[in-house]
Structure 1
Amino acid sequence: MEDGECDIAIIDGMPPSADGRATMDGTMNRVEQLQEEPCERNDEDERIFVKKWQIACVLMFVLVAVLAAVYFVVIRTKVNRSPHNFYTARSSLEPFYPAPTFPTTEGPQEITRLPEYLLPYNYKVKLRLDLSETTFTGSTTINLRCLQATQVIVLDCIEGNITNASVSVVDLTTADVQVVIDLLYDDSEGRLVVYLGKRLQEGRIYKLEIAEFTGELRTQPPGLYTTDYRHSDGLRQLLVSSLKPMGARYVFPCMDDPAMKATFDVTIEHPKGQTALSNMPSKTKTVLTDGWVREEFYRTPKMSTHLLGFALFDGLTSLEAVISRGRVVRVWAPFDPEENPSVEVALNTTIDAIHNIEQLVPVEYQLTKTDVIPVPGLSVPSSDYCGLLMIRETALFCDGQESSMSQQLKCELAISKAVAHNWFGNSVTVEWWDDLWLTEALSTMLAYESVAYQRPDVNICDLQWDEMIQPAMAADIFSRVDLSSYGHAAAIGEDPAVGGKGIGLLRMLDTIISDKEFLKAIENVLARFSHDNMNRSQFWDAVSEATGFRIDVAAFMEPWVTQLGYPYVSIGRYQERDESRNQYFVQLPFYYSGFVSFMRHLQTITWEIPVTWKSEGQTDTRLLTMTEDKYIIPDETSPEEWVLGNSDSRGFYRVNYDNKNWALLADYLQYNHTLLEPSVRAVLIDDAFNNVRGSILLIPTAMEMTRYLDKEENYVPWRAALDALHYVKTVVHGSCPSSSQCPYHCRLQEYIARKAARVLKRHTFYETSPEKRLLVAVTFKAACQNGNRNVTKRAKIMFDRWKRKRVRIPPDIRESVIHVGISAGDENVWWHVWKQSNASAISAQDRQIFLCGLAASQQEWVLWRYLRYIFEEKGITVQEASLIFKCVTQTKVGRETAWKFVQGNWEKLTSKYADVPSLLKAIIQSTLTGLSTDQHFQQLEHFSSSVQEKYLRDLLDDAVHATRLNQRYIDRNMPYLQDWLKVPCATRVDTRETNP
């Protein structure tokens, strides 16, 4: 046959088989079909074949396009998507932390917790630090236990500039390297997510290594920040850490959850000549080829990330001592410790605090070394990092001969609190930030007990009320943060004004349980949770257990912790128609009327209040636990006897009475004040004046409570009265066009000065009793500030002798004498004090006194020049700028000058301190206090509308409301105050006054 022809025969229309045979049904078998190859195809078959091929090609192209779109659009864009959404779409992988929660109040947003799929047990952290740089580099290795299979590793990390190539994960069980697919930064929560190629297996241990990251050396907390300190040869820099709370993530990638404890191996590389400190003693030092030093530290105990501490400096020298069991304590100072006794005082105070607290609790101080370093301008008096105590410089160095009693007590409390954190904060750590207030309060209470142990001649209850409780109640009125949000507020830069509230609530708990039961609860907590985590629910259970479960402590305490504000209790008496007499107790939320608009919801809140009360005829304290808003009990007292609420001064609530009861209490203070405890007298005065601000009372009632002050021999009631009267003077003076047109302000000053001068006549400037020294200091200051001629004359003489002959000024009144000298002096006097403030050998406390005294000038142009110094190279640090503004605004001319300065230099201020928002807040808050005229109100509204930064605009809006509140205060109370000041001081309460 010719080529191209097929040798196929058609027999009866049936195709033959390969061998010429066909199957019975006319078909070929399957094998034969596969072997058959057609020799030709007609045109119709060819067209059909081509169409099928084209369709196949199109379908293949579409499939490839869809797969490419999935890869580039979905998978490659997961870096920019929320991890919550990503894991919702891929149900095969578990979400690594809950969906974000949104706050229902104006408090800080709750930060979601890390998953517990992986837990760290050891970190190796290496940092390369240099005081002359603004950034740092480092590396970290984290050993992890896998508790649940997961394909992601979630870390807390702020910035860091970490690349995929720098991250590796190794299975330590098999030495297998895990493939890292990608990294995700979740900026909204400060999270770094490592995506792995396959799941980590439950029960295995892994090593996560980040070979390199970078960080910023900030100018303020959190994280690592630098601050200037004064040295004999000028300003030098100090680098310190501030990691509590949520600050470790600013330094290195970690699991910054207080419950996720681990050990730490720290290595710091730094230039030769600089000193590095961390929690543990130095282990080895190696000089590198570039001249730097690599310093390794011993492994830390198991602890939370926020307890890790770092410090780097040059120019500080130390004084050390070895105490029992070879434990080393060192105090560092910017001057020669051998020539300045204040360093030895600080060292001895630290050692005393360790020994005192060891006597109070059943757990010994475990740390082998303790470094104490001074930090200028530290926002809190002290901060402890497990073996590295950072204490505000002015609260660390005190001289028993040259420091005032107030300064000495502040130093002892700051050091004792830092030491006490070894037990509550380091050993017993909170599980989550919402309970941070609890360990802070417990450590502070231990600190006060330590001071009481060391100074039995100081009334610790009075000192605690004056230093912690009264400021906390004053600040809590303006707080948008409840106590359980304390840690979050601190973390996001808010001022946690309710810090002392925790101590107040624990003090109040003492009213329903005994001291013995509370101490037993403390011992149980330390034994049960030593080197472990604790939440407040467990603490409440421990206290309930100590009482034999007689009291449900959680039910009592939780409303106080989780709700804003606090209540006041109105106590009164009335007679029924059947002539039976009853006594009523009514609780209502306390706030300043018209100011705290966001607290209007408090009208629906009730607290369980342990009201302690007694009467004049029945001096035994009784307890009424108020679980409802109103109680009525039979009145067993005489109508002519007073009734006193919060009779042990331990309640975190205010009390109000009917007019007659206020009058009876005022008379009792006048003739028998010593029969009431000093703190109770202070509470009465404080409640009265705050009730005026809350529109519950009118001001004559509060003024009546001060009539007895010239007989008062304790500084705590005096402090309470002067703080309250300072507000009255400020708003009265602020509402006057000028001092010459404000006669009632002058009369009020005369009244205060006369009371203070009478007390001073009974004392000398060299008292030995701590409480008498405190009394002299507070009354001398009151007499000087309010213009008593005899006292200010003595102050001027002492200032002149100091200026000309360097005659020593008694330490308790030094601050007041400097103020008087500057206020009455000319420009030459001002320059003399300015030079003294810059002397190389001056102590931090004296420099603070001089800088604040320079603000007492009564010349506006001098104050303007002084404020301008913060922009110039005058050696004023960032922290001192805040102090200068605070002190300038203590007088009317200073407030007006500071307000004009802020308005005229706003762009300069925000530019210079853009990275120090806390300073701008402090400047605004101090400058805008006491404004009370329509002109001030209009200026504030206009200025607030022009400010872009939200946190500053919020402060200005608060100032607008505060100014309106001041105006209402003046409008409501000025007529009554004028009448009261015109008549003799013994005049009774104005009969026009009513109670709501």
Structure 2
Amino acid sequence: MPKGSFLSKALAATFIVLTISVIGGIITMIILYKTEISGMNPTARPTLPPTTTAPPPVMRLPPNLVPEQVNVTSPNQTMLFTGNSTVEFRCVERTSTIYLNSKDLKVSNPLVKNTKTNEKIPHSSMISHDDESNFLEIPLNEHLEAGKNYSLFLDFEGEISVNLEGLYLSSYVEGGPAYEGDRNAERFLVATNLQPTDARRVFPCFDEPQLKAEFDVTIIHRRGTDALGNAKVEGNNTNDEWEMTRFKLTPRMSTYLFAFTVSEFEEFTVSKPTPENVDIYARPDAVKAKSTEYAASITGNILMFYEDLFDMTYSRTLGKLDQIALPDLYPAAMENWGLVTYQEGGLPFFFPLDNVEPSFNVKDMYAMNDLHIAFQEDALASSHPLSPPQEDVQTTSQITEMFDSITYSKGATILRMLSDIVGEKVFNKASVFFLFVCFFALSLLLILPCLQAGEGQFNDIAMKMEPWTKQIGYPVITINTTIGEVYQKHFLFNSSSESRFVLWWYIPIRVMPDTSTDPVWLLSNERVRNEKFLSEPGKWILANVNCTGYYRVNYNPENWEHLLTQLEVKPSPIPLMNRAQLIDDAFNLARAKLVDVTLALNTTRFLHSETEYLPWESAVRNLEYFFLMFDRSEVYGPMQAYLQEQVKGLYDFFSNYTDHSQVPKDHSSQYSQIIAIEVACSNGLKKCVTMASSMFSLWMNGTNIINPNLRSVIYCQAVAAGGKEEWEFAWERFQTTNDTSEKEQLRKALSCTKTTWLLGRYLDYTLNPEKIRLMDVASTIIYIAKNEAAQAQVWNFIRAHWDYISLGDGAMVIQAVTDRFSTKFELEELERFAKDYDLRSATRAVEQAIEQTQVNIQWVRENKDNVLEWFEKNI
């Protein structure tokens, strides 16, 4: 699920429901590949095939069989689904064994045939591999011959999941179907979530992304409900209770992109101008509240932007686009072809908004966000390449671990750098070439050879980009402006890891005040000199202009001093993105001990007169590390006092808006206003705390005057400043509101209390799906972990309940809970946790947490005294 191109916006577009009695009717589905629908008589429940823990030949499917036709039939059941499947495949290499993927399914009655002669192929007993390969092995008594087509019939049985994976059950409270006679009860629906390796939970299949097939889908469901799938509806048949919806044939696609939902939705048609067959589905209450109107108003423009950009008509490629938001979904969104699913509260509007909503100015904002997210994880020796060797990604846990900030944020950043190198026009042309010629490739990184094929002048670009995609990490370049010298080095927080790597990159460097349109290339790991890095006396040089490159920049002390002087005297000559990046680079260079920590702190001195969002966001995010390291020490008081003084100017700048619960029109200014309130209140600025508490008190007495844009930050600060009464009021509102955005803001605010027993209660609530949805467990614990008052509680809690917590995003929880770890005792506990617990897909996260804790211990030991002295002097 790509993240680089989407941003959630609060607009509730949620599902309509089924009662539990309806669930049985929606599990009937038929998935075919150019075949006729088979009979739908229920099959007897089969027995589980024998299992083995012996390792298969490899953990990935062998390449000797390629699926071509899939036919899956699943008759009516309740919380169980049973069915049978026929997979037609081509043999490309002689073999006597068939390997499929199957997980948590009981599979039986295999029948293998030659599709041309209809001859049966005898076989031995099936073997289900009880390991992460999820292999279903079918030994044959004779060979399958290369070049011939065969079919495999199987019976199977499975259970509808409640863990938001495979085919799963979801519920919420809303008016139910009319035939139930109950308009205000808990409602149910089912949906699929198959990324990355959960199609095998729904039916036995070749569950790897390169093994694509077309799907012909039929779903049988209760009358009065609607079925949505990847393709357009071809026809419906109805009897007294049931409806059979058959969909048109899908394009060739990977199994993880297969999707369907059944519910009782109201369709909300997207506003013109828009291509045909683009719809949004939502709860009736959401449609009535006009919560879908923004998504409906902008979807057409977004789609038309992409059609124009890629010179491709969407409807001719995928036929239709349904957008739907689910009460329960683990990823924020999932790009199932033709049926894009979202968590409640979000539909897409990021990348093309610079064209359809230019006032939002999201391009720079989220480019910086991706850059900084990737920088943090990629500065650890335990990081991984964008394109790791296949032998490093074998098991389902290893595959799941790849869905991290390196893949998403670093991937987006590298593509942005590539676009800057070749130019946006050429990059877009190569993207079109990729879509048409390399359409069935597995990774957008394959745009590199497509770029070479499409643009001859960039024949060396794949070679230059290869280190960025196949090596871990990124470089820091150091420029000495007195002699015009530059060199590169692998940037790592932990310098003791350097001997493990000898890495270097081809680095494009854009420099101010140079006016050339072409970057300067650093093509080796040697020290080189170039007059473009030589400054005039008293002048500064700025590298990585507008932060288009994926690298950090260090300078000689004189150039740093000139840049800091410029920031304090008149910051505007330095581009906005670079004002933010100077802060980020300095703080992280200090963490890596490449500059003194006082230099990093000096980059924040100009903020007392800065009102732009990006520099403030960079400072707050980097000072958060200082808070994490020192909020349990004597540094905390002087640090808060310094920030109180620095933020006064920003807070006062927006006070005319804030005091009247209003927001400025400009989008980036709205973000600046929020950060002003957050920094001022959290660091004890009295007028801010009074404002937040007063507005929240008015709400408790019946009138909520808080502007929707400000609710998240004001709710949090009011709950933090309050006690039991404020917390229980927020909890009651969280339970009763049907506004998805409001619910999310309150869920976050509840974690802000400083009362430890309330934090403990809230942690316990995450164990009860009736209080905190399973998909929200991880993020709720992460919210609580950010509260310094809950540090020990959260760490004890996740160890006590790891089996439950790890069902969700355990890796993100580990990262958040261990962010403050900076003592030898905490390191020993973390190492014991790694040894004693089944880490599953959090293995890499724990390894990185151990590495980061080691870095933290050393950093605190070396910097605490200097940091305390600096803050005391600068209050």
Name the TM-score class by shorter chain.
0.7 to 0.9
Is 1:812 aligned to 2:721, yes or no?
A: no
Distance 1:307 1:953 in 2: 26
* 1:115 matched to 2:63: yes
Which one of the candidate residues 379, 387, 396 is aligned to 1:484?
Answer: 387
Tell me the TM-score normalized by structure 2. 0.84
CA contact (8 A) 1:157 1:252 kept: yes
The offset of 1:588, in angstroms, is 0.9
Task: Output the CA distance in 1 between the equivalents of 2:418 and 2:679.
Answer: 35
Q: TM-score w.r.t. structure 1 length?
A: 0.75
Output the CA distance in 2 between the equivalents of 1:929 and 1:834.
27
Contact 2:812–2:845 at 8 Å: present in 1 too?
no
| Residues 1:602 and 1:813: Cα distance change in structure 2 (over 3 Å) | farther
Structure 1, unaligned runs of 5 or more? 1-76, 85-98, 101-110, 397-410, 414-447, 575-581, 986-996
Q: Could you tell me which of 516, 532, 537 is aligned with 2:425? A: 516
SS at match of 1:300: coil
Q: Does 1:691 align with 2:589?
A: yes
> For the Cα contact (< 8 Å) 2:273–2:301, is it kept in 1?
no
- Range that drifts further, 975-984 or 643-652: 975-984
Structure showing greater Rg: 1
Distance 2:605 2:236 in 1: 67
Cα distance in 2 for partners of 1:691, 1:237 equals 52
Q: Are positions 1:505 and 2:453 aligned together?
A: no
1:246 equivalenced with 2:143 (yes/no): no
1:170 & 1:837 partners in 2: Cα distance? Answer: 57
Q: Is 1:263–1:300's contact at 8 Å kept on the other side of the alignment?
A: yes
Equivalent residues in 2 for 1:929-940, closer than 5 Å: 929-934=819-824, 936-937=826-827, 939-940=829-830
Q: Would you say 1:656 and 2:656 are equivalent positions?
A: no
Contact 1:493–1:918 (Cα < 8 Å) also in 2: no
Which residue of structure 1 aligns with residue 490 of structure 2?
589
789 and 336 in structure 1: CA distance in 2 versus 1, 3 angstrom threshold: same
Query: Is the 8 Å Cα contact of residues 72 and 86 (structure 2) preserved in structure 1?
Result: yes
Residue number in structure 1 paired with 2:538: 640
Q: Does 1:526 align with 2:435?
A: yes
Distance in 1 (alpha carbons) for counterparts of 2:53 and 2:670: 64
What does 1:148-297 align with in structure 2 at a 5 Å threshold? 150-163=95-108, 166-188=109-131, 189-201=133-145, 203-210=147-154, 212-220=155-163, 222-229=165-172, 231=174, 233=184, 236-270=187-221, 275-286=226-237, 293-297=243-247
Return closer, same or farther for 1:202/1:943 CA change in 2, 3 Å cut-off: closer
The one-letter code sitting in structure 2 at the alignment partner of 1:173 is: K
Task: Describe the SS at the equivalent of 2:546.
Answer: coil
- Residues 948, 264 of structure 1: CA spacing in aligned structure 2 closer, same or farther, 3 A cutoff? closer
On the 8 A contact 1:679/1:716 being kept in 2, the answer is yes
Question: d(CA) in 2 for partners of 1:197 and 1:866?
Answer: 59
The 3 A distance-change label for structure 1 pair 390 and 661 is same
Query: Paired residue for 1:105?
Result: none
Cα displacement (A) at 1:569: 0.8
Aligned partner of 1:394 among 325, 338, 345: 345
Match of 2:730? 833
Partner of 1:18: none
Partner-residue secondary structure (3-state), 1:549: helix
- Establish whether residue 972 from structure 1 lines up as the match of residue 826 from structure 2: no
| Residue matched to 1:412 | 349
Question: Is the Cα contact below 8 Å between 1:184 and 1:193 reproduced in 2?
Answer: yes
Q: Is the 8 A contact 2:485 2:528 kept in 1?
A: yes
Q: 1:188-228: per-residue Cα shift (whole Å, max 9, x none)?
A: 53333334444445554433322x11234334465333344
Higher mean C-alpha deviation, range 535-544 or range 333-342: 535-544
**Cα 1:190–1:861 shift into 2, 3 Å:** closer
Asked whether the 8 Å contact 1:258–1:304 carries over to 2, the reply is yes
Q: Distance in 2 between matches of 1:376 and 1:964?
A: 40
State how 1:522-601 maps to structure 2 within 5 Å. 522-530=431-439, 532-533=440-441, 539-574=447-482, 582-593=483-494, 600=498
> Match for 1:711: what amino acid?
S
Change (3 A) 1:122 1:512: same
Q: 1:768 to 1:220 in 2, by over 3 A?
A: same
Q: 1:379 to 1:494 in 2, by over 3 A?
A: farther
**Matched letter for residue 174 of structure 1:** T
Q: Matched residues in 2 for 1:941 and 1:528: separation?
A: 48
| Cα separation, partners in 2 of 1:950 and 1:285, compared to 1, 3 Å | closer
Give the secondary-structure state (helix, strand or coil) at the position aligned to 1:781. helix
Give the Cα–Cα distance (whole angstroms) in 2 for the partners of residues 626 and 961 of structure 1.
30
Counterpart in 1 of 2:718?
Answer: 821
Taking a change above 3 Å as real, the CA distance of residues 622 and 755 of structure 1, as seen in their structure-2 partners, is: farther
Displacement, 1:944? 5.5
Aligned-partner Cα distance in 2 for 1:149–1:229 = 51
Select 1:300's aligned residue among 241, 250, 253: 250
Indicate how the Cα distance of structure 1 residues 322 and 456 shifts in structure 2: closer, same or farther if over 3 A, else same.
closer
Contact persistence 1:719–1:778 (CA under 8 A): yes
Q: Give the aligned partner of residue 332 of structure 1.
A: 281
Partner of residue 768 from structure 1, selected from 665, 690, 694: 665
Q: Considering only aligned residues, what root-mean-square deviation do their CA atoms show, in Å? A: 3.3
Counterpart selection for 2:758 from 852, 858, 862: 862
Q: Which residue of 1 aligns with 2:46?
A: none
Which of these residues, 361, 364, 375, is aligned with residue 473 of structure 1? 375
- The aligned residue for residue 127 of structure 1 is 74
The answer on 1:750 being equivalent to 2:644 is yes
Higher mean C-alpha deviation, range 855-864 or range 224-233:
224-233
Going from structure 1 to structure 2, the CA distance change for 1:872 and 1:560 (only over 3 Å counts) comes to closer
Residue among 878, 894, 910 paired with 2:802? 910
Specify every segment of 5 or more residues in structure 2 that has no aligned partner in the other structure, as ranges: 1-48, 176-183
Equivalent pair of 2:475/2:488 in contact (CA under 8 Å): yes
Cα gap change, 1:128/1:734 in structure 2, threshold over 3 Å: closer, same or farther?
Answer: farther
Deviates more, 1:245-254 or 1:688-697: 245-254
- 1:359 alignment partner, SS class: helix
1:236-282: CA deviation from partner (whole Å, max 9, x where unpaired):
44432222333322322222343333221223344566543221234
Aligned mates of 1:780, 1:857 — CA distance in 2 = 17
Aligned-pair distance for 1:782? 1.6
Give the Cα–Cα distance (whole angstroms) in 2 for the partners of residues 174 and 831 of structure 1: 71
Deviation of 1:516 after TM superposition, in Å, equals 2.0
Q: What is aligned with 1:714?
A: 612
Q: How far has the Cα of 1:284 moved from its partner?
A: 4.4
* 1:928 aligned onto 2:812: no
Aligned partner of 2:26 in structure 1 is none
Once the 2 structures are TM-superposed, how far is the Cα of residue 938 of structure 1 from its aligned partner? 5.3
Answering whether residue 85 of structure 2 is matched by residue 140 of structure 1, we say yes
Find the aligned partners of 1:144 and 1:944 in 2 and give their Cα distance: 43
Q: How does 1:841-856 map to 2 (within 5 A)?
A: 841-856=737-752
1:741-784 CA-partner distances (Å, limit 9, x unpaired) = 84323334424433532443586632111122122122222212
Q: Which has the higher contact order (CA 8 A, sep 6+)?
A: 2
Aligned counterparts of 2:742 and 2:320: Cα–Cα separation in 1: 31
The verdict on how the C-alpha distance between 1:923 and 1:518 changes in structure 2, with shifts beyond 3 A counting, is closer
Aligned mates of 2:301, 2:74 — CA distance in 1: 34
**Amino acid aligned to 1:917:** L
Among candidates 520, 532, 538, match of residue 624 of structure 1: 520
Tell me which residue corresponds to 2:404. 496
Q: Does 1:342 align with 2:291?
A: yes
Q: 1:883 deviation in Å?
A: 2.7
Give the deviation of 1:652 after TM superposition: 0.7
Secondary structure of 1:569's aligned partner: strand
| Amino acid in structure 2 at the alignment position of 1:766 | V
User: What is the CA–CA distance in structure 2 between the aligned matches of 1:472 and 1:851, rounded to whole Å?
Assistant: 27
Measure the CA separation in 2 of the matches of 1:605 and 1:381.
Answer: 35
Identity %: 25
Cα distance change on mapping 1:467 and 1:241 into 2, 3 Å: farther
